[in-house]
Amino acid sequence: MNILGAVIYGIIVVLCYIYAFKKSSAGATKAVKKGISRFLQQLPFLISIFLLIGLFDVFVPRSFVVSIVGRGKGLLSILTSALAGTIVAGPVSSAYPLGAFLLKKGATIAATAVFLNSWVMVGFVSIPYEISIFGKRFTFARNGLAFIGAIVIGILTGLLLGGMPT
């Protein structure tokens, strides 16, 4: 997000909180506390992911990323990205900086979109928990369709934005 976007977003949040405080100062105070708590819960993940991206940026050459998920890798780059996005864990907010890193290092738009979508849509790490709540049939159907959907959305994004692996 550029600085102007961040400022606009910040102004909108401040205006929402002004309105909330006028409606219910107790409710708005509770919302601020919850927001700060959520931020503090996410902070270790965000710090870790940015430090990891720093390591990747310095030690992972562009040629390595291109050799796996860059142009010329065809559907293999799509499947690799889908599998990688499926098995990583952490808050979704961590996925976006990793996606930006992949693009910067030469990954195609399609491969990056597949990675992001599979991270968001497929819950490999949480499958045991999901099974305990929804059962095996639902869990595997949802995750299987989400995996396919992540690939389709990534390919469509690549086609739309001109970033398909050839």
Report in angstroms the alpha-carbon separations of 146 from 47, 85, 124, 152. 28, 12, 11, 10
Instruction: Look over the chain and give the mean of its residue pLDDT values, rounded to a whole number.
Output: 90
Which pair of tokens denotes residue 86?
Answer: 């499926």
Report the b/e string of 20-35 with b at 16+ CB within 10 A.
beeeeeeebeeeeeee
What is the pLDDT at residue 117? 96
Q: How does residue 166 score in pLDDT terms, banded at 50, 70 and 90?
A: low
What is the pLDDT at residue 7? 92
pLDDT, tens digit (0-9, with 9 covering 90-100), for 138-148: 999 999 999 99
Q: Is the pLDDT of residue 29 over 80?
A: yes
Report in angstroms the alpha-carbon separations of 115 from 8, 33, 68. 29, 33, 13
